[in-house]
Structure 1
Amino acid sequence: MKLYLDPGHGGSDPGARGNSLNEKDINLDIALRIRSILINEYENVQVRMSRTSDINKSLNQRTTEANSWGADFYLSIHCNAFNGSAQGYEDYIHSSLSDTSTTAKYQDIIHTEVMILNQLKDRGKKKADFHVLRETTMPAFLSENGFIDNTHDANLMKQSSWRQNVARGHVNGVAKAFNLKKKPVETGTIYKVIAGSFKTKENANERVAFLRSKGIESFAFSTTISGETWYRVQAGAFSKRENAEERLEEVKRAGISDAFIVSENPDSPNNEVSGYTILGETFLSAEQMNLFVQSVNPNAIELGRYYATIGPQYGIRGDVAFAQAMLETDYLRFTGTVQPDQNNFAGIGATGPDNPGARFSTPEKGVLAHIQHLYAYASTKPLPEKSPLVDPRFNLVSRGSATTWKALNGKWAVPGNGYGQALLNVYERLLMNTKQNIDTVIQKVNKD
């Protein structure tokens, strides 16, 4: 399926304006999110956008490009404006089309799916003689996602979670209309190489430092065995046992004789991961996380090490937190309100263009703030000893109010319907990507 995705206006044409917002910015943000969801979650989908940045492009250029490419569907994203009092959502197909046409059927489906998630008044399905609807040779659809000059609608537009929900609604509609097939998600047993167990954290950290000096990435985490706290050192997690055994031999050749393999199954009903709790073990390594994001965004900075080390220090699933960061930042492409120099990978405090949220001096501190914010939701315990508080909103969280990722719905993202499910979808993609690229991981470690 070939989708031509058209965020309206751009460049010197801001579109409608109101409440310190420009329509062109909202349109682009929603469209980029639509593209990201479709490409990452669905099979056999090609997306071409009229623009991916703030540039000028004429209506004729847009429709000519879509027609020449042979798109199957033209989706145009807009916001509305009138007199400040009008509000709500409406969408359009061309006025010449009958209510029984294929395009009208697509409109019925997409309209329904968008209205489920957008929290806007339903202004109905309409028809018009707009250029992009008239001059396209394929079915074409234009949505008006609220009134930018209306206070109620504009306050929603300023929320990244709302824009994500609007994007998700459009995707759900397109997927149903064109019978798109979801990419398969494969999970199964993960084999973890444990390179030592210690009663003190200091001894575990010494082992980590030793392994890193030998070119073997590892991290320490705490676990409870027979009621006692132990500190284990993990030197890799693999989907195939033979790859874990190869790493085990590498660890032993480095002089670690007490290394062994443990197996974990995220799908097992006896495993915490099946409940998707925020507190728990980190399964994947820094390299596996970095390779995943770089498969989507080759220019992404490497954050895996921070999530693989800081997460376990707080008992937080670092690899799932990493997946959340990928959702929040669009795989570190920062296509929303938060910008790269903020190092705010969790979108902490961001509510819209006028309030882009917190700023942290380094990527490491940004990840630390993210983990601490999750810790505030998932635990009622104090921060670990000697842990500096860098999350500016830690004390604003109702402690222990969300112990699972899905429980973040309506808390981390407001309204956030489906937010937890969305970040878990990214995590499942991360697991699948790890299985596909495990040989690359091994080669990279050996090279380093």
Structure 2
Amino acid sequence: MKLYLDPGHGGSDPGAVGHGLSEKNIALDIALRIQSILTSQYENIQVKMSRTDDTTKSLSQRTNEANAWGADFYLSIHCNAFNGSARGYEDYIHTSLSDSSTTAKYQDIIHAEVINLNQLPDRGQKKANFHVLRETAMPALLTENGFIDNAQDAALMKQSTWRQQVAQGHANGVAKAFNLVRKQQQDAPDSGTVYKVIAGSFQSRENADERVTFLRSKGIESFVDAVSISGATWYRVQAGAFSSRDNAEKRLEEVKKTGISDAFILAEDSNTAEDLESPSGYSILGKTYLSPEQMNLFVKNIKPDALELGIYYLTFGEYYGIRGDVAFAQAMHETDYLRFTGVVKPEQNNFCGLGATGPDNPGASFETPREGVLAHLQHLYAYASTKPLPDGYPLVDPRFSLVARGSAPTWVGLNGKWAVPGTTYGQSILGLYERMINSAKENLEKVLKEVKG
């Protein structure tokens, strides 16, 4: 498959501007990340870019080049601007195309995958008479990734992790639309140990971002992962995850050849590590790994008479396809391990702070603990998915309709939404969940020693 990837604008044409950002730079950064993901993780794909740096190139030059190369698909990356109030994501195919055309089917697939990860309101799938859509001989799609003159969208654009997620969404869409086959050595393992190449760990996010930029300049794709260690936030730069130790060693050698001497391999259980460490693993939707007993035991070590909520988080988590054990960690974060030291009181059965804004408004109340957990999982579903709420249980979340559906598919995406300003809210939840995992491992090792003894 031959993909012509076109970062909009460039050189003397900055595109839209706002909040200290230029469209040409955001588009290029996202496009370079798309190229890296596709070429490093999938077989039989060639990517040709209209530009790989800040150079000027006319629209005709771009489409002529794509046509001459014989591209199978033309993907143009842009950002939007209007009046400062509009925000969200939208994409375009040419006005002459029907909704049943091949290009429209590609748009359907890519649109869904991008929206799943980009934390932006969905402005829909559209049609226009843009040059790159009209003058291309192959199916073509133009994406508008947020409004650069909107404060909320611009704040996201400034985050390298957001740009990585947007790129991942585009890559996922292209891979799905064209049935690309993932390279075996890059597959996330289903079981056993995952070996992660950590190319530095920093207390400064800026320093971590600089390390990622440096590695990318050397042809090594990486991303920043925020983790909580002993209550402090550290920013790890991850340059690969492998099921094979040998492959991890090869990547480590590549990293060290760039002059980074502090890189190392982190070996972890893939069942938990992939969910804590990789960008895709920040997803709210997913499998619950811890048992109800392990969840309950974790909180009882802190509050011996704590309610046993584990079974509800497992049951409702499995029904809605949500990580019930991470949701349990969120409940522990919100309630101070069910000690309710904040404005929400135990009798409210409100384990996630639904609607609580301060002493004068302690939030929603629920008749039973079971109903309170159900409301919690329904609220997470509203943020994580754009699909209709399954009707197996009644809607008890009083704020479900107030959520911008699918606006936070990841735990970190809840930052500034579930908690305001909450810039490290999701990281705190994942840090607490990591402690739950470690506690479960310690308890298991203790049991095994007793059995052997």
Q: TM-score, normalised by structure 2?
A: 0.48
